[in-house]
Chains A and B, each alone.
Chain A
């Protein structure tokens, strides 16, 4: 049906575009036309290949040849050699940096092995509203296997052997958690799925529930069999309407098929799942607060022990796992614990899903084996920093985590390495920042969030975080002193040591990690009353650069408070007493005639 014998794909992503891929595209089209191949060879521009480091990228189909660092002048060679004579242009092929071998086929390139989808295996592959597709993709096979071939004890052991650690952020070994709940004797036990995803910028759990709800249901049933529970509860925030809808559809389909309910697969095992809605309080992601919220009490944490495995929902033994942890479970049984344990690093097995956000080209959902470096995630999979700006920091772990910098880029990502670097894995939000982001403001943003979300039960968190916020606010206004910086550190340490739950114990992390890594920036705010990134409104002002101003009036027309005056074709003037520092004039000026200082 296709009249074309060959397609030449040229990357049109931001990175490759900056290295003249558009010119290359034109040249290729020209060459194809000159050689009268227009009817046979099609030249086309694509989205980002994600391999921006070696751009511009050209891929030739059908033979999957992958050319890297192609210059506009190489167009003639590609057409005359590859398209006409069918020979690959050897000098443009990708060389494996480790083995020093030439790799011609993109499928054999290490780069494409950087992402491996285990938890996301069915997201974007099956229709989440159709149980038949899930079953066809090996769904419920793990449940069938566990129920018929394994005892609760051996099934739990498989989980321990896999080395899976809790993906909600804590990193506690999942199998060990199951084993504790299994060993407690009780007439009633519960399985709870924590879908109260609350970190700013994180959407891994939502995407899994929207794209593959059955994998979570199947895993919860397996968990129920292992610990001896016949009832499961999914605690999900009400702000996730689509995820809730799909989960409800999936639950009904599973019940219709008899994969939930009484006597599943004729084995005598019964299990069913209910949905409970959360009102979106961040603290309810903490397991004891989550359980209290489900009981109808205030969403406040309580002291551990007793752990939920001993006394949880309604005082009964309860196992709580996160959505992503559950999504890994069925594959661990179908492929085996050994297979799973072969992926990742020594102490962190498997993969981790990250929600890439912030100043990065390929915002999206990625899944990489543990041990991948931040550099690979940000610059290769993420396609680098937006608008060619300079990388400054990456925030992991949300309000409980910290900022990692240039010097951490080559650290392999796993639970222990991230903690050693002063941040944490968290649930998987990854916010990338560039040179325009002020780290004092970033710390203030997270503290603002924590102050809002603190449940107020314990004093260090309720009062301490508020004071931290005020200190940061003072510093960002240029009114801070060295004494304030000392107070910040001391107070942070006290809050970490004395708070009741994980929220308070980790909330000073954004402050401490920015102070450790960007001490200069704090000093600039305090000593010089200056914001190096030009973000803190109280410390900057906009001025007209007289020699550049042509009097186009663009700034004056766009100023929301009309504080810019000047006639057409004459130099304009900003009234500093009225200026609200919104930056509209700076963005609109095409002549670099507005400066920030």
Chain B
């Protein structure tokens, strides 16, 4: 790994890395990569988020879907764990709650493959500082 030697270095790095995140923010990636984020804080893991994460990683690969599965922190919906956020290319992110393996399978088959929403969406109820 390269050291960040100066502030200019850091800024350059940020601009390069920004594209990874903006892909997550706006999802205007022409290649059509699906982004899946699994909330892996203590609350999520206790409710089985690890199994869901494993399932998503192995099954998306098995079913030939070009997707990035990452872990993230607590989204705040602890009552509905495990929660995952799915972003289809060019669309707003959708958060699903109470995701067990059966639900995960349904999300892959219906939402990711065909764009049909699946029962159990958790509506986002907060503002981020970027909007403020």
Contacts and interface: CB of A to CB of B under 8 A. Distances in A.
Q: Report if A and B associate in a common complex.
A: yes
Interface of A: 1-4, 7, 9, 11-12, 42, 44-50, 59, 111-118, 120-130, 132-133, 135-138, 140-141, 144-145, 147-148, 203, 206-208, 210-212, 240, 242-243, 256-259, 265-266, 331, 335, 339, 343, 361-367, 381
B129 A117 contact: yes
Given A136-B14, A144-B10, A240-B42, 19 more contacts: A9-B121, A12-B119, A44-B119, A46-B122, A47-B80, A113-B127, A115-B126, A116-B129, A118-B129, A120-B74, A123-B75, A129-B71, A135-B13, A145-B7, A207-B74, A265-B4, A335-B129, A362-B77, A365-B76
Given A2-B114, A259-B4, A266-B6, A46 B73 contact: no
Given A135-B13, A210-B73, A365-B78, A121 B127 contact: no
Interface in B19-54: 20-21, 37, 39, 41-43, 45
A7 B91 CA distance: 13
A128 to B, nearest CB: 5
Interface residues of B, number: 53
Interface string B45-76: 10000000000000000000000001111111
Contact of A4 (B79, B115, B129): B115
Nearest to A261: B3
A124 B117 contact: no
28 contacts: A3-B116, A9-B121, A12-B119, A46-B119, A47-B121, A47-B122, A48-B122, A49-B123, A114-B125, A115-B125, A118-B129, A120-B74, A123-B76, A124-B37, A124-B74, A127-B71, A140-B4, A141-B11, A141-B14, A147-B7, A207-B73, A208-B73, A211-B74, A242-B42, A243-B42, A363-B79, A365-B74, A367-B126
Contact of A50 (B70, B125, B127): B125
B1 A257 contact: yes
A235 B4 CA distance: 27
A362 B72 contact: no
A256 B1 contact: yes
Interface of B: 1-7, 9-11, 13-14, 17-18, 20-21, 37, 39, 41-43, 45, 70-80, 85, 88, 97-98, 114-123, 125-129, 132
A116 to B, nearest CB: 5
Contacts of A123: 41, 72-76
B128 A135 contact: no
